Amino acid sequence: MSHAERLHNQIEETKLAVYLRVGGTCQACGKQVGPAGHCGHVIPQSQIDRFGPEVIHHPLNMKWVCSLKCNHAIEISCKGHPVAANAHADMIRAEILLEEGVR
């Protein structure tokens, strides 16, 4: 399996994990959307250079949303909320360290 394929599988698995975690409920408006919803990033993908793919694509940086509007509502942009974005990234990094410790 190529690196790109592995990354793709990892992202698909992450989406499934997020979907199962919330049972298909939109985490912004609470509407039940089921598989028709999609995975939104809390810290947006545009900030991948700053936080790294391991934080951006982590399940804790994903929420299940029903629309672009709701996707926008769950976002913690580093421009608008730099302190909150850093705190969220720190929480995910701590979780990654814990996961690595368990392995």
Residues that bind Zn ion (CB under 5 A): 26, 28-29, 31, 66, 70
Give me the least distance between CB of 31 and Zn ion, in Å please: 5
The residue among 39 and 66 lying less far from Zn ion, judged by its C-beta, is 66
Which pair of tokens denotes residue 7? 């990354």
The residue among 26 and 89 lying less far from Zn ion, judged by its C-beta, is 26
Give me the least distance between CB of 77 and Zn ion, in Å please: 18
Q: How far apart are CA 71 and CA 41, in angstroms?
A: 7
Q: How far apart are CA 46 and CA 29, in angstroms?
A: 24
Give me the least distance between CB of 24 and Zn ion, in Å please: 11
